[in-house]
Amino acid sequence: MSETEKDNIETITSFVAAWSRLDAEELAGYFAEDGCYFNIPTEPVRGRDAVKSFITGFTANWTKTQWDILNIAAAGDVVFCERLDRTQTTTGNVDLPCLGVFEMQNGKIREWRDYFDLQTFMGAMSGGS
């Protein structure tokens, strides 16, 4: 494993842990200025400021979250991170299996594509799970 791959894994490990603090500014700081956050079932969000605004709105009713890394690997500037996102909100709680694919550039997230079942998340938020 190259030093770049090790550094990228360390950055994503820190980023995943940072979600537990629910600080949108801190989280957006992991992105390149023109970075993209793309929850695959929805539309991509482009630009660090837009990412910060999206995270602020998306997590507005979250009371607690812990993301557990199940597997993580890097190939060059791409990091694959399989997770179980355990989130408590004011409208429901969910344990959401996810796979994040992170394209890195100079130690920052250039693009994050997160794959998960939107119905699992939406069902939990409406009290269905």
Q: H helices of 36-117, where? A: 48-58
Report the alpha-carbon distance of residue 1 to residue 80 in Å, rounded: 14
User: Catalytic: which of 7, 77, 114, 117?
Assistant: 114
Report the alpha-carbon distance of residue 66 to residue 56 in Å, rounded: 17
Our answer to whether residue 114 is catalytic in this structure is yes
Q: Are 97 and 69 in contact (CB under 8 A)?
A: no
Residues 6+ apart with CB under 8 A from 58: none
Residue type, 115: Y
Q: H helices of the chain, where? A: 3-18, 24-28, 48-58, 118-125
Report the alpha-carbon distance of residue 21 to residue 63 in Å, rounded: 10
User: Catalytic: which of 7, 85, 95, 117?
Assistant: 85
Our answer to whether residue 85 is catalytic in this structure is yes
Write out the catalytic residue numbers: 85, 114
